[in-house]
Structure 1
Amino acid sequence: MKYASIALATLAVFSTAAHAAPALMNATDCGEATQTELKIVPKDGKAMCAYGGAVQTTKMEYAYDYTMHATTEKWTEMGAGEYGPMKAMMFGRLKFVGPKVEAMTVMGPFETFLKLPGKVAFDKACPAK
């Protein structure tokens, strides 16, 4: 699945330990067909990934669910550490829908975690192109 590693890595930190929080993301230039869902659940005091793959949640609960998308170029730049998600959102490079106040409380860990996928090789080609 396109950007599964980026989706799983970048969204893992955006969940609360209080909810099973689906998050959706995709590479804007590849279209919504590449959207990936990541479900985070609390386990032993930690946020754990319970599911990652094709979208299963039909209705988002934006009190704790997130949707993010950026172009392939911007995901790559964030993963390389050229700038963080805060700057990306401020300049419209990362589109975000969800509880912004909650997201602000985990911005530091999200930025750190976002750099991990930047160290892993991935295919930049869109699956249907």
Structure 2
Amino acid sequence: MVQPHQVIESQQQEDGDLIKPRKPPNPIVASHQHRALHQELLFCHRRGLLPRREPELQRVLEHKQREQHKQRELALHPPSDLEAKLRTIQQRLQVCELEEKKRNESQQNVPEFVRVRGTLKHVQTFSS
């Protein structure tokens, strides 16, 4: 019969040759930025300076109010010369884009042989 003490010793010798598994390091916890943020949060918590918690709906309403306030301020001030010029240029570009779009749509409705014939009129042929 094999004594239990000898079985344990033989298992330990076999285990000594194997690589023992280790828990892999967590990259988030090992990160310097994460540790600094955690320290700052702990410090703020001790001093009672936690960021205020407000419902999402309230934040959205405040954001909309700020946007409306900005729009009212912009409406009160007349546009500068540069803004007026840029607006006119933008309007011209939009008109040109609409015309080009209409032209392309009208050409798509025309049969292909008519389009090809129209392009051939512009091609010059050289006689020898």
Higher relative contact order (CA 8 A, sep 6+): 1
TM-score, scaled to structure 1: 0.19
Larger helix share, 1 or 2: 2
Larger strand share, 1 or 2: 1
TM-score, scaled to structure 2: 0.19
